[in-house]
Amino acid sequence: MKEEVSQVRKHNMKIYALYRMLSMDHIFYYAIEFMFLTEVKGLTAADIVLGSSVYALFMMILQIPAVMLIDKLGNKKCTVLANLFLAAFVFTILNCQNISTLILAQFFDAIGFSLKDTSDTSLLNVSIPETTMKSEIYSKIEGKGLKNYYFFSAISSITAGILYEINPYIPIIISFLISIMASMISLGFEEIKQAKSKSENIKIKDYFRDLVYSFQFILHSNRLKALLLYSGIIWGIFCLMNTCITSLLTDLGAVATVIAIISAIKDISSGIGAKRQLVFHNKLKNKSLKTILIITLLCIWIIGLVGILQLNMILSIGMIVLTLIVLQFIKGVHGVLTTRYLQNFTNESILPKIYAVNSISRNIFRVLIGFIGSYLLRITNTANAIIVIGIMFTFVVMVLILYMKNRVGLKPEEYSSEETKFG
């Protein structure tokens, strides 16, 4: 029996990186998303940011039901189901007519990622044997998957830009086919049964009692609260800046192929960041998250200033690209390190709940930051909006760094027994 479980674990870890490469996000789509929705479907930049914010709102609403479904069906089935909903999202985008259809597409996307954000990472976590090196093994496998995704996405971004000039629908169709392929690969995972102290026919009342207890622990943990606050704010900024930067490049006169190439450069930078996150962590230790915040803030200011200075188009785009390389590298580092830090001092029973609360936190701030961004884009141009965002984020970073100082990055023995009781 132990040998069979060991083989299942090896099998899951073997195909995870390939699966993650194809399913991490919508390949072929994001490079031309802004142009497709504005030029082909007639939406505005403010509409796109609003749609992104509504997506985040759906994610918040669906997160707890998603955790319940994962506990009921298991990680593998929910991973398969998630990928099918992501395919439904792309199909709906193909037929998008207005903001209402965009919101429907975002609803399908939210269902997919509310399941996927927890089931994928939990599937990998339970597939890794309990060893002292488990955290490092997780980082290496997840980092490899992210690296492969970013590099594949980079190649597909350039291709998408070229195909968009031929026919704007071609990249979206390819993105749909890749979503179907990811669904098929996810069928190859094997569920790893975890020992349960309760009956399989657990009562709903008992289930909610266990869920509430887990959430209470998370929300009373100073370490987790600081991590969740950081994760939510930085993710909201990354999401908003993604649309703002594409909008700014369009304002500066960049065509579809140029934007696609820049998107590819972004993905390569993120892939390098995901690959080098261990080096980044080992060098900076407990200053890693603080450094991520400061570098992100500086990048926002540089991009905003380039936008309002109205320099030569080529010079402006070149400066934005150089800044984006740094910003996306940091985003790649953040993606792996944050997940790794959240899973410290946890076990399989509490980990899905932590991931769920993290998703809720990220989407709360994505909604708030997104609504602010959508409003700014409706009343002023993109460059001015980025400067205002930079001013607001400066104050937020200062407060957040102070809040995290004595709560995150401590040595294991410096945390209370309450903080590590699930370790």
Widest Cα–Cα separation across the chain: 68
Q: Long-range contacts made by residues 213-222, C-beta under 8 angstroms, separation at least 24? A: 214/349, 214/350, 214/353, 215/353, 215/357, 217/350, 217/421, 217/422, 218/350, 218/353, 218/354, 218/357, 219/357, 220/418, 221/418, 221/419, 222/407, 222/419
- The CB-side HSE value for 162 (13 A sphere, CA atoms) comes to 8
- Cα distance between residue 146 and residue 270, in whole Å: 8
146 pLDDT tier (thresholds 50, 70, 90): confident
Q: How many helices (H) and strands (E) does the chain have?
A: 15, 0
User: In this structure, are residues 363 and 57 in contact, taking their beta carbons and an 8 Å threshold?
Assistant: yes
What b-and-e string marks burial along 27-51, b requiring 16 or more CB atoms within 10 Å of the CB?
A: bbbbbbbbbbbbeebebebbbbbbb
Question: In this predicted model, what pLDDT tens digit does every residue of 69-100 receive, in sequence order?
Answer: 887 888 888 999 999 999 999 999 999 989 99
pLDDT score at 286 = 79
pLDDT score at 411 = 66
Question: In this predicted model, what pLDDT tens digit does every residue of 395-421 receive, in sequence order?
Answer: 999 999 999 888 776 666 656 666 665
pLDDT score at 86 = 95
Kindly tell me if the per-residue pLDDT of 31 is higher than 90. no
For residues 198-210, average pLDDT: 53
Question: In this predicted model, what pLDDT tens digit does every residue of 283-295 receive, in sequence order?
Answer: 887 788 899 999 9
- The CB-side HSE value for 205 (13 A sphere, CA atoms) comes to 0
Task: Give the phi and the psi of residue 31 in degrees, each rounded to 5.
Answer: -65, -30
